[in-house]
Copies of this chain bind each other. A is one copy, B any other.
Amino acid sequence: MTDDPRLTPLAASLPPSVPFVGPEELERRRGAPFRARLGANESTFGPSPRAVEAMARAASEGWKYGDSTSHDLRAAIARHHGVDAAHVLVGEGIDGLLGLLVRLVVTHETPVVTSAGAYPTFNYHVAGFGGALHTVPFRNDHEDPEALAAKTRETGARLVYISNPDNPMGSWHDAATIAALAEALPEGALLILDEAYADFAPPEAIPPMTPEDPRVIRMRTFSKAHGLAGLRVGYAIGPAPLIAAFDRVRNHFGMTRPGQAGALAALEDRDWLASVVAQVAAARARISDIAAGSGLSALPSATNFVAVDCGGDGTLSRAVLDELATRGVFVRMPGVAPLDRCIRISCGRPEDLDVLEEVFPASLAAARNR
């Protein structure tokens, strides 16, 4: 219905595409479940048992709408980071928060800057509100803060996106580099610092919290280290007036009760988090070993995934990805060159990586013989 005259001109102009095809949809297409689900940077280690228990309890109270202010969770997050709750907004995952932020800032042809190959869902939101997306290339498999700042000055961008640690390459910058990026931005620009993978990063990669800084909004999620991707809980930390502005457009009763309860319990279970982070570190090393066993190299990673350089171009990587899928392993890959010489493998449990180890050499060989 691109020709439905009732759609706005913007809506009519949008492509019917989707940012990602989900693993269940891929499973339906291939007619069998995956043996190892290592494509969406989910935490196969699962959520904290305390979070599972809290969610099960919340299920029987599911007849109640969730607390519209996520008061208890928001307060706990604020305490955890040592900031006032006025600087914290809980929302339906970083995806949901990015959509709201773009809606607040972006209208017809508003310039926005990101890196070519960075998070597609952010780009989807920018397109969805009519913004003009400008990209700069990665540099040595890192997002390039200097180029992002220069492009922002050049285009007069209102929003600048960076993820640190980075998705899809797993690379990272130190806190001083991120702080310098904020300093280098012209007035009127807002830096989105996506820290979805912060829990896996070395401490020196994470800037101290300065939530009153009007130039930066940071985003965190319970989808990665906390293992709650299917509960849709993320949060933003930023200047109080900007945080308050979300109240003008958000779905006030949009949070689920199990999500609120699960995230609160997960936040409090520091032992589980530490255990997951340790298991992820071990999995990173093993994925690197599996790659080396086939003569490939893995990039250093500060996340719960590893970019493995397949040694060719995007066509080869795509073939490796397809051959892995044929053998029951779901992984993904970056969308642009030269990042797409890599495939991106999420850190799974030993049993998940056993499957990867089993099928990787044959998948690579088959891809090379195509």
Contact = CB atoms under 8 A, between A and B. Distances in A.
A105 interface: yes
B69 A22 contact: yes
B64 A47 contact: no
A180 interface: no
Interface in A10-32: 10-11, 14-16, 18-25, 28
Contacts of A43: 63
A370 interface: no
A270 to B, nearest CB: 18
A245 interface: yes
B60 A46 contact: yes
A231 B252 contact: no
A25 to B, nearest CB: 6
A63 to B, nearest CB: 4
A241 B1 CA distance: 5
A230 B37 CA distance: 29
Interface string A56-67: 101111111111
A58 B230 contact: yes
Interface in A201-225: 214, 223
Given A15-B248, A254-B96, A230 B52 contact: no
Nearest to A215: B6
A93 B253 contact: yes
A237 to B, nearest CB: 15
Nearest to A259: B256
B92 A63 contact: no
B14 A248 contact: yes
Q: Interface of chain A, helix or strand or loop or mixed?
A: loop
A153 to B, nearest CB: 15
Nearest to A8: B107
Nearest to A241: B1
Given A47-B63, A92-B254, A11 B104 contact: yes
A154 interface: no
Contacts of A258: 55, 59, 230-231, 256, 258
A241 B3 CA distance: 10
Given A40-B65, A230-B257, A258-B231, A251 B7 contact: no
A122 interface: no
A247 interface: yes
Interface in A235-254: 239, 241-242, 244-245, 247-249, 251-254
Contacts of A344: none
A103 B254 contact: no
Given A55-B258, A254-B93, A66 B230 contact: yes
A4 B55 contact: no
A369 B103 CA distance: 48
A20 to B, nearest CB: 7
A256 B69 CA distance: 19
A157 to B, nearest CB: 10
Interface of A: 1, 4-11, 14-16, 18-25, 28, 37, 40, 42-47, 51-52, 55-56, 58-69, 71, 92-93, 95-96, 99, 103-107, 110, 128, 158, 188-190, 214, 223, 227-232, 239, 241-242, 244-245, 247-249, 251-259, 262
